[in-house]
Amino acid sequence: MALIALDPRFARRVERTWGFVCAGRYGIDHPSINPPAMPAEQWATLGCRRALVTMAGLDTLRDRGRRYVDTLRGSAWGGEEVVLYETDGEGHVHFLNKSRQGHKADKEMDVVVSFMKVRQVGS
């Protein structure tokens, strides 16, 4: 089992959507939407051995994605591998924008597919 986070982003639109989803009970710093807010010992319950986090170099909130990776690496998770992939010169979810799809989007999807194809020990 693995975890893949493609361009994790938290912005005003996400705040509104998240507020609707949870009926206003939790803000965007709740661990359900901002995993680094989770206490370190709870990371041990994450049910995967490997994690891939991708982000775009021009995403204004890419630092939050980096904190996610750093938190995962320093936590009680106990997984085997955390991979951070950053696409330089692109904005958030650039690979979904049909007018901008190209070599960088293809490369990012190749990274995702390669990550998913790695056979897990014991699976």
| Per-residue pLDDT tens listing for the chain (123 residues) | 555 565 555 557 777 777 888 888 888 788 877 788 888 788 888 888 999 988 888 877 788 888 889 988 988 888 999 999 988 887 666 676 665 567 887 888 888 899 988 865 544
> Is the full-model pTM beyond 0.85?
no
26 lies in a domain? no
Is 108 within the bounds of a domain? yes
Inside any domain, residue 16: no
Residue range of the domain that includes 71: 2-8+40-117
Long-range contacts, 115-122 (Cβ 8 Å, 24+): 115/2, 115/4, 115/50, 115/52, 115/83, 116/2, 116/4, 118/2, 118/50, 120/1, 120/2, 120/49, 120/50
62 falls within a domain: yes
Question: How many domains in the chain?
Answer: 1
Q: How far apart are the first and last CA of the chain?
A: 8
